[in-house]
Structure 1
């Protein structure tokens, strides 16, 4: 059986199998911790008007994967990882569906937790993805958030 590479990125329209992604990093005897983050599309009823019916995610093919590869390389330079995977979806995603998955593996939990948080913080600000909210017949592009920049900035200089 071919085993997926322990460090990999994918951008795809189809939903992903979280359990399979975890299993791909769990079989090594040196792995003591696997940390996952799965981001979901939420209904977002916090705004006035129609509830969110879907997110439309667009990306720059080739550039998105290259940036995600750079992020994994950066994480590998910071923590002793045995594996890391990022899977990011594009296309129309409805509330409750998964958008992004980050999985990190290491001999120890602290490294796996920190690397997963680092990857997610930087994905929100560096990866070339654009989101459009679909609310009934109206769609608006989602602006960058200061909170995301602040979260990513804490990793600079480390």
Structure 2
């Protein structure tokens, strides 16, 4: 586990940490599925086929899946704070590239950059839960995270 979280986890204010990490995890999970709403419009705007447009989702999930196991190595090399901030900055960078994309290859590049940041968030969140909470409270904390992410997705108008 990350050495950046002290052994005296009882003295840490868990609420603010969990809130910020849940928001980051929500953004990452929302971006995994949000393309299904936008795909038909993107097909028209970029004059591409459905198979080509599907790469926005497939590529995102592929990069995301590759980054999840790599996160274990990154958690040993960097502090939790550094890794979370870097992941969110990479995710933001991908969002900016996607927002400014004038053609499909640039949009796909932005989505892949987003996925690199998002792929770090969920395993990092689980590591933080394991570090902050005693064994008898971990299941409840993980359930709360899942509930919060599901609730936030239900509040999303898409």
TM-score (norm 1): 0.30
Larger radius of gyration between Structure 1 and Structure 2 = 2
Higher percent of residues as strand: 1
Give the helix-richer structure, 1 or 2.
Answer: 2
